[in-house]
């Protein structure tokens, strides 16, 4: 049995409880064995003891919506890349996300089950992955690219194709079964059109309520969950009424939508970062391939998006953190917490949204999300107090320790033997 003892921590456990000073966490074989005051665990023997010296210890963060295979903004550039090169370009993004303190990701389309298995088998440095494989999108819907000439850009068959176009109740049921058989941990369905061409209009609904319900039924029968990619309009209500488990990045949320979220106890994954992500990519690289109309729409949607989220939080809607990280915005996942605070959340609410509540949204609350006995030893240690300044979580230099299943992805404290248990990087 391998044992590690973390001592002298200021503990934020992910439950929403007040921080506790001078805490110790005992880890045995990758899981948390005990959490107690330093004095209570002072006599415990451990192969490795790490003094956190008053730093803040938190659960590893969980991102409920990210596209880790999206190394480039342009779909055209990605489908022109050989499959093997796509994998190689994805691996550094997985590692970068883990080293940012994100130990689990609900992958929203683009990675297959092989990436999840590679992480589980220790072949790659990556957050723990829940994969949806592809987004289910309506034929003729978002990203179904038909040119004025009559030519069509067909994304089917491409490595990391992101989208599968479909329609019809029985066809939807069959595709859901195929994805579940291929190892999908959840299903992702796009139930509205996009706002990025016409941000001033409410998007129209995609898929009929019966089509959405068929996907939900198949997933729930298999014990899996369904996330709905929505922008706003009637497709939001259709998804909630059909029983999806979360609605992700609704830019427009009506009061009626918020009431439905409360009635059905559906999770809201706001992804406030997504439009900022488009703007920041363009600012970093004017040649990133972002069309001026997309940039203009993103800037318009930021205020609308934030206002709807603020109303939902005030109403008591359950929400969980998702960054919608993509393109050259990878690894900036925890920027989302700053935006939540800017929108009116307390820092503790934002942290819980990315830990305990994110685990509940993903169905992982028995495994991770809080620092408690029996949970996986997914932990982040930061130099400073994120309750005083949530932005410090974005500063890699202040992340002293990032641990996943008791192994250190980041160890700036340089403690313990270099035996693979807590290797310094």
What is the structure's pLDDT at 297?
Answer: 80
Which residue in 320, 313, 314 sits closest to 352, CA to CA? 320
- Residues 65 and 52 occupy one common structural domain: no
Burial code (b: 16+ CB inside 10 Å, e: under 16) for 18-34 equals ebbeebbbbbbebbbbe
Q: What is the spatial distance between Cα 116 and Cα 134, in angstroms, rounded to a whole number?
A: 14
Residue 122's domain comprises: 61-362
Q: In the structure encoding, which two tokens stand for residue 383, read together?
A: 């130099």
- Residues 346 and 407 occupy one common structural domain: no
Q: Which residues contact 33 (CB under 8 A, 6 or more apart)?
A: 3, 26, 27, 373
- Residues 392 and 404 occupy one common structural domain: yes
How many independent structural domains does the chain possess? 2
Q: What is the pTM of this model?
A: 0.92
- Residues 9 and 146 occupy one common structural domain: no
- Residues 165 and 203 occupy one common structural domain: yes
Q: Do the domain assignments include residue 355?
A: yes
Q: Do the domain assignments include residue 424?
A: no
- How many C-beta neighbours within 10 Å does residue 187 have? 28
Give the angle 104-108-112 at the CA atoms, nearest 5°.
85
- Residues 331 and 395 occupy one common structural domain: no
Q: Do the domain assignments include residue 417?
A: no
Q: Which residues contact 157 (CB under 8 A, 6 or more apart)?
A: none
- Residues 301 and 209 occupy one common structural domain: yes
- Residues 14 and 133 occupy one common structural domain: no
pLDDT in tens, the chain (425 residues): 689 999 999 999 999 999 999 999 999 999 999 999 999 998 888 888 999 998 999 999 999 999 998 776 666 676 778 888 888 989 999 999 999 999 999 999 989 999 999 999 999 999 999 999 999 998 866 665 566 666 666 555 554 556 787 889 999 999 999 999 999 999 999 999 876 666 667 888 999 999 999 999 999 999 999 999 999 999 999 999 999 999 999 999 999 999 999 999 999 999 999 888 777 777 777 766 677 777 788 888 899 999 999 999 999 999 999 999 876 678 899 999 999 999 999 999 999 999 999 999 999 999 999 999 999 999 999 999 999 999 999 999 999 999 999 999 999 996 444 444 454 33
- Residues 268 and 399 occupy one common structural domain: no
Q: What is the spatial distance between Cα 407 and Cα 379, in angstroms, rounded to a whole number?
A: 10
Q: Do the domain assignments include residue 419?
A: no
- Residues 38 and 92 occupy one common structural domain: no
Last residue of a domain, one of 362, 387, 419: 362
Q: In the structure encoding, which two tokens stand for residue 18, read together?
A: 């007040």
What is the structure's pLDDT at 148?
Answer: 64
Would you call 16 helix, strand, or coil by DSSP?
coil
- Residues 82 and 159 occupy one common structural domain: yes
- Residues 66 and 42 occupy one common structural domain: no
Q: What is the DSSP string of 360-375?
A: HHHT-TTTSSS--TTS
């Amino acid at each position: 049995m391998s044992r590690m003892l973390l001592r002298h921590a200021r503990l934020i456990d992910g439950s929403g409880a007040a921080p506790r000073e001078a805490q110790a966490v005992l880890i045995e074989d990758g899981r948390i064995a005990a959490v107690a005051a330093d004095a209570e665990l002072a006599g415990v023997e451990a192969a490795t003891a790490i003094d956190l010296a008053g730093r803040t210890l938190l659960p590893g963060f969980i991102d409920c919506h990210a596209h880790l295979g999206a190394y480039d903004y342009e779909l055209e550039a990605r489908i022109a890349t050989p499959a093997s090169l796509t994998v190689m370009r994805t691996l550094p993004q997985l590692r970068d996300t883990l080293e940012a303190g994100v130990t689990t990701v609900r992958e929203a389309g683009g990675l297959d089950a092989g990436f999840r298995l590679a992480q589980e088998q220790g072949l790659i440095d990556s957050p723990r992955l829940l994969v949806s494989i592809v987004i289910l999108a309506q034929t003729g819907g978002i990203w179904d690219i038909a040119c004025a000439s009559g030519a069509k850009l067909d994304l089917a068959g491409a490595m990391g194709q992101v989208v599968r176009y479909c329609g019809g109740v029985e066809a939807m049921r069959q595709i859901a079964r195929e994805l579940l058989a291929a190892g999908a941990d959840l299903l992702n369905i796009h139930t509205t059109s996009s706002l990025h061409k016409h941000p001033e209009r409410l998007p129209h609904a995609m898929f009929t309520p019966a089509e959405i319900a068929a996907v939900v039924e198949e997933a729930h029968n298999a014990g899996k969950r369904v996330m709905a990619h929505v922008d706003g309009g009637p497709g939001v209500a259709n998804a909630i009424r059909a029983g999806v488990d979360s609605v992700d990045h609704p830019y427009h949320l009506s009061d009626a939508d918020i009431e439905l979220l409360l009635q059905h106890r559906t999770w809201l994954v706001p992804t406030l970062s997504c439009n900022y992500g488009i703007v920041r990519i363009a600012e970093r690289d004017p040649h990133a391939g972002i069309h001026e109309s997309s940039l203009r729409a993103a800037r318009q949607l930021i205020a609308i998006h934030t206002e709807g989220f603020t109303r939902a939080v005030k109403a008591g809607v359950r929400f969980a953190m998702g960054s919608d990280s993509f393109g050259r915005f990878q690894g900036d996942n925890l920027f989302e917490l700053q935006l939540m605070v800017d929108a009116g959340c307390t820092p503790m609410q934002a942290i819980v949204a990315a830990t305990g509540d994110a685990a509940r949204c993903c169905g992982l609350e028995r495994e991770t999300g809080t620092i408690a006995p029996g949970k996986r030893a997914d932990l982040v240690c930061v130099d400073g107090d994120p309750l005083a300044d949530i932005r410090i979580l974005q500063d890699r230099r202040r992340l002293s320790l990032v641990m996943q299943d008791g192994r250190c992805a980041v160890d700036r404290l340089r403690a313990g033997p270099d035996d693979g248990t807590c290797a310094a990087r």
